[in-house]
Amino acid sequence: MLTLEEYIKMANDEINAIAYPSAPSGLYSPIAYTMQLGGKRLRPALVLMACDAFGGNVERALRPAVGLELFHNFTLLHDDVMDNADVRRGMPTVHKRWNANTAILSGDAMLSMSAQYIGQVDPNILPRVNELFHRTAMEIYEGQQYDMDFEVRNNVTINEYIEMIRLKTSVLIGCACKLGAIIAGASAEKAQALYDMGLSLGLAFQLQDDVLDVWGDEASFGKEIGGDIMNNKKTYLLIGAMQRAQGDDAIELRRWLNDSYAIRDKKVPAVRALYERLGVRQAANAAIEHYNALALESLSKADLPKEAHSAFERFINGLVGRVK
């Protein structure tokens, strides 16, 4: 087994080696731009790590790993159009630097490219790989739809929120793990155990993101703290607070949610204090620990060699303490 950083480097080297056609540049330049913006590259690294863990040939997992990262970046590209976001990884989004039509069409091309890359596996596993990838893609669109639906609803429950982030975020982490396992020739049961590990990991990861957006350190987190609070984003924390708040707390929370002109330096600390008073910070941390425990349980079921097991264990435990 290699270190996580080594798998990430392998993924990055392969991403940097993608040969984009030179024409039409209006189609391919935005794709190259998007892929060069960087990112954690966790998904392709997980594909490689899972393949290695089951004794597979990591070289054979490289193209599919890049395919999964292309797919992930396609979803970000189209999400940015839908959210009308200006900035991604500190740079202008594609629809700002070019225009919305370019972002739509280049995104479509990234989705088809991702299927081309993911399909570069042994023909005998191609049906399973195809089935896994396209089902995951459909679930992610469903998650994005629920996320948009939740914006205009005020009665979203914690269970609905968990189901939404399972679809929007976690299934792709599960897919990365299972894809690597399938390429390595793991049994259906073991591949599924690693999928389940990824799913729980993804839930813990997203909940940790919600927490970091409120209590994170700006320098380490890499983006402004309190964005979710300013946007009234229905995270685990806000949904929990809306359910728990009574009397004066409920009045204060409602006042902040309705105040379109609230100043950041006032609203963020006030809502943060409310979250702490109402116990939702504690509840979120407990949920993160719960999903981490589930991830470790699924990892055990994958029955990996000791070294590989330890590598994933470090990965999971590293997530709880992460600051970015």
Q: Which residues bind a second copy (CB under 8 A)?
A: 21, 23-24, 26-27, 78, 81-82, 100-101, 104-105, 107-109, 111-113, 115-116, 119, 123-124, 126-127, 130-131, 134-135, 137-138, 141-142, 144-146, 148-149
Question: Which one, 131 or 289, has the nearer CB to a second copy?
Answer: 131
Shortest distance, position 182 Cβ to a second copy, whole Å = 14
Question: Which one, 138 or 188, has the nearer CB to a second copy?
Answer: 138
Q: Which two tokens stand for residue 221?
A: 């987190």
Question: Which one, 9 or 233, has the nearer CB to a second copy?
Answer: 233
Which of 33, 318, 52 has its CA nearest to residue 11? 52
Q: What are phi and psi of 72, to 5 degrees?
A: -55, -45
Shortest distance, position 153 Cβ to a second copy, whole Å = 12
Chain-centroid distance of CA 262 in Å reads 30
Shortest distance, position 281 Cβ to a second copy, whole Å = 30
Q: Which two tokens stand for residue 86?
A: 């200006």
Question: Which one, 25 or 310, has the nearer CB to a second copy?
Answer: 25
Question: Which one, 17 or 152, has the nearer CB to a second copy?
Answer: 152
Question: Which one, 82 or 188, has the nearer CB to a second copy?
Answer: 82
Shortest distance, position 108 Cβ to a second copy, whole Å = 6
Report whether 191 contacts 182 (CB < 8 A).
yes
Burial tier of 104 (Cβ tally within 10 Å: 0-12, 13-18, 19+): middle
**Where are the strands (E) in the chain, listed by range?**
87-88, 91-92
Question: Which one, 10 or 175, has the nearer CB to a second copy?
Answer: 175
Handedness of CA 249, 250, 251, 255 (dihedral sign): positive
Distance CA 76, CA 83 (A): 10
Question: Which one, 49 or 156, has the nearer CB to a second copy?
Answer: 156
Shortest distance, position 127 Cβ to a second copy, whole Å = 5
Q: What are phi and psi of 92, to 5 degrees?
A: -60, 140
Q: Which two tokens stand for residue 37?
A: 């913006």
Question: Which one, 4 or 77, has the nearer CB to a second copy?
Answer: 77
Shortest distance, position 225 Cβ to a second copy, whole Å = 27
Kind and range of the H or E run holding 110:
helix 100-118
Shortest distance, position 137 Cβ to a second copy, whole Å = 4
Q: Which two tokens stand for residue 75?
A: 């979803």
Is residue 126 helix, strand or coil?
A: helix
DSSP track, 217-228: -HHHHSS-TTHH
Distance CA 204, CA 54 (A): 24
SS3 content of the chain, % helix, strand, coil (to 5): 75, 0, 20
Shortest distance, position 234 Cβ to a second copy, whole Å = 15
Is residue 77 helix, strand or coil?
A: helix
Shortest distance, position 178 Cβ to a second copy, whole Å = 17
